[in-house]
Chains A and B, each alone.
Chain A
């Protein structure tokens, strides 16, 4: 090598970067996937729905990339939208042209036109789009990232747009105030429940089994692949809004007269309370409901007793369902000193927050930033971090076991007694992997204070 090559870092750019030092009280980097992706994820998975995106090239490229990968594997139509087209003021024409192309796919029942930052700024509105193009329904979904702050909230916007299109207004009552009977298709929808929220595919089956013990059953799970599931949402006995961010959809359904049950059947207390809530909403036999709820609580407790975990865990996702997950880990023995989420505080987060604060959680942070999550690492020194991608990077850089919350959450059941063992054992297993994280860190960075700290403790799981 000649001397001129000396100052060249012969490395990939990613290896040049050091981790973030703990900043002061700054919050510079909100944590969320592009909000619009939440809508795309829900919409592109629906059978018979085609997507048209009205936006600039950079946005279109990025959202198509993640949508093709994680969501729909479905071709996406869009107009060319650069300065020339925007200056010409042809935004409505461009949107209509993209919808027309999208509607060409055989079997299309509905075209969702997504209006993103640039289109919103250019002034695309609902009135500019026809309700149908060539006989296919069109729905406008407005999700500019500058106004919708997180991707869970954009899921709510997409579901709500479909509900508004397909759910009938409030049930009619006769002169004496008695509700008119619903049309009955198959089993009585009034004894059925719709779960609202993305869940692991086995969870609805567990829920259905418990409901059947009480004389009720599950109608479907939103977001659904089937448009008909949105059509019956206004007729069921109750909507279980599993996650706290479905505020718009819940408002629409409440206005249609459907009882709403908030919270999710997670952990012993959570499952008990949720079953009771459902029983109440469906006006089921209270004695039977109490019996089923207690039985489920006992089963949960038995599983939790047999699978205790120990350690400080930070739960820092951006999915909007971190609080319920944290409750489960606390019931199983973990300390959840710090819990953060990207959604905002609302009526629907209050119960979980209160429960967590009563069980040792020091901080619950809403609309969090990366910098806040990193400061919490310094403050609480967790043994395990369930984090966003950048937070997990920072944790691993410090030799702390860490996993990307979204991926772990979506790959195993969580609800009722059936969902406990898998989740608890995942966390238990992760906590026991600390020596591996320390070894990797030392190998790649040469830093080893975590190794030293671990050596002081008995090592649970060695590499050999």
Chain B
């Protein structure tokens, strides 16, 4: 048995230096390697061989996309299967060669692309030269997994795909006047099928014709067709600008919120020479898709938005978009917002965790990390709304976008319905079946018999202090519960004057 006597912490030189190391909690952004696999594997005529130990293959190809993209596994991904002997003695060329030869027998029509991983980069496994000499040549992509995050990684691999499989194939392809490409999504982009569906709808409304959705609905052999469009739409602000700039056409970012969406349709219409059609579409949308926002705004629900607080931790597009829509347009109060990639001044997860442990806004848009922090804090009155990875979730239905007009309606609808949930859960109820062996009926006589109790101002202030930090919506019932608790205690103790001390003792 180990002696478990606490000892004074010895400060070794390592421990002293350790205080300088940068620490993260619950990492929310993955690496350049994941970006490469999740981008290239959307293209069914490409096959990625990851130069990886079995774990890096399973996580990126099966374990995680099962729960981010609701696909059983990524089928066009195979590992080189790095083992101890490859790491310490042999290097991975033999393992990669075996995978290449094996896969060519099964999938002779696919373009093989070998992608480096953190571990292969650790041992400097660069296979570019010899893979290029194979017949037909196999491509090698150094994913900078030890340097780049998933956003930089997606941007970089999209550009690499264009330079290696697109640019050279462009032969007298005409630019089609109203053709619009959408750059993004890839695997692992939160809610992308619904957002993509909405953006396609907006493009059509503004007079455009969707040409290529790259890479999500494209094949590798389609890559040269990126040159055909008149305008490009970049679905996420997190990545894709690099490719859009290289393509040299005007490009727009997909919009979130009413104002941004209106600007988007208008600008796209102008770029396509379809200004009138775009204006007509906006007018029609106001009376159809977007009408619920106007109705909710004029109804009692509209008042509630301005008195409710929210927080966001999500991808940059969603974080900025929700702040604009919920904060600027609907007038909700913002507790805090953090986007990925993070900007200077935004809270990291350690700060977010500390914040949520102390105070919980009525609505938190986030990932499983924020959900964990809320659970750690025992938050009961906060609505958690999934808004970004990491989190296991199915978002394959097309009717749940955050982007565009449909997105504005979906978000507002979702929040009002959560509000109704709160009302349902917090209204006083008479139970039919007694809980804990009581007699059923109303929660107890305390409140009814307490008309003679005198509350001092200080006691009332102490009670109010108790419910601070609880979202407004739930504060009514929290206040009622706390008051009932204090008064029941006072009655039991035959106290007729409630002081701060009584509050303290009653809600200890």
Contacts and interface: CB of A to CB of B under 8 A. Distances in A.
Interface of A: 2, 4-5, 7-14, 16-17, 19-21, 23-24, 26, 28-30, 32-37, 55-66, 68-69, 73-80, 82-83, 85-86, 90, 92-94, 96-98, 100-101, 117-118, 121-122, 128, 130, 132-135, 137, 144-147, 149, 165-166, 168, 231, 389-390, 392-393
B21 A28 contact: no
B480 to A, nearest CB: 31
A393 B217 contact: no
A121 B17 contact: no
Contact of A32 (B58, B84, B218, B390): B58
A101 B25 contact: yes
A146 B84 contact: yes
A62 B64 contact: yes
A29 B79 contact: yes
B41 A64 contact: no
B321 to A, nearest CB: 23
Contact of A17 (B53, B64, B75): B75
Interface in B2-58: 2, 4, 6-7, 9-10, 12, 14-15, 17-34, 41-44, 53-58
Interface string B436-456: 000000000000000000000
B427 interface: no
- In the A-B complex, the 5 residue pairs with the closest CB atoms: A34-B55, A62-B59, A58-B31, A145-B55, A61-B30
B99 A28 contact: yes
Contacts of B98: 28
B6 A98 contact: no
Nearest to A27: B102
Interface string B184-226: 0001000001000000000000000111110111110010000
Contacts of B218: 8-9
Given A56-B31, A58-B117, A146-B87, A97 B21 contact: yes
B105 interface: yes
14 contacts: A2-B176, A28-B79, A58-B33, A58-B56, A61-B28, A65-B392, A90-B21, A135-B6, A144-B53, A145-B53, A146-B54, A146-B84, A147-B83, A393-B75
B170 interface: no
A131 to B, nearest CB: 8
Given A66-B64, A165-B2, A122 B122 contact: yes
B27 A57 contact: yes
A63 B53 CA distance: 14
Given A90-B21, A93-B17, A96-B14, A145 B390 contact: no
Contacts, number: 280
B81 interface: yes
A20 B75 contact: yes
A34 B209 contact: no
A21 B396 CA distance: 28
A166 B102 contact: no
Nearest to B145: A58
A172 to B, nearest CB: 14
Contact of A118 (B122, B176, B213): B122
B295 interface: no
Given A9-B217, A90-B17, A145 B56 contact: yes
Given A32-B58, A35-B55, A75-B373, A26 B105 contact: yes
B63 A93 contact: no
A134 B24 contact: no
B73 interface: yes
Query: Chain B, interface size: which category?
Result: 35 or more
Nearest to B19: A97
Contacts of A79: 21-24
B9 A133 contact: yes
B18 A69 contact: no
Given A75-B376, A130-B12, A390-B73, A93 B20 contact: yes
Interface in B63-95: 63-64, 66-67, 69, 71-73, 75-76, 78-79, 81-84, 86-87
Contacts of A392: 72
Contact of A35 (B54, B84, B123): B54
B72 A36 contact: no
B432 interface: no
A4 B228 contact: yes
Contact of A83 (B24, B66, B146, B373): B146
Interface string B259-278: 00000000000000000000
Nearest to A95: B18
Given A8-B218, A61-B34, A121-B87, A29 B44 contact: no
Contact of A75 (B69, B83, B118, B353): B353
Contacts of A57: 27, 29-31, 118, 145, 149
A79 B64 CA distance: 22
A9 to B, nearest CB: 6
Contacts of A128: 14
Contacts of B71: 14
Given A8-B212, A58-B34, A146-B83, A231 B1 contact: yes
Nearest to A150: B54
Nearest to A122: B122
Contacts of B215: 13
B375 interface: yes
B102 A75 contact: no
A77 B23 contact: yes
A80 B21 contact: yes
A62 B71 CA distance: 16
Given A121-B123, A166-B1, 4 more contacts: A100-B18, A121-B87, A130-B15, A144-B53
A390 B7 contact: no
Give the one of A57, A96, A145, A166 with max B CB within 10 A: A57
B372 A73 contact: yes
B179 interface: yes
Contact of A20 (B12, B106, B211, B396): B106
A406 to B, nearest CB: 11
A407 to B, nearest CB: 11
A13 B55 CA distance: 23
Contacts of A62: 30, 34, 55-56, 59-60, 63-64
Contact of B76 (A2, A17, A55, A390): A17
Contacts of B123: 121
B352 to A, nearest CB: 11
Contacts of A121: 87, 119, 122-123
A341 B126 CA distance: 33
B211 A23 contact: no
Contacts of A8: 210-213, 217-218, 222
Interface string B112-129: 000001110111000000
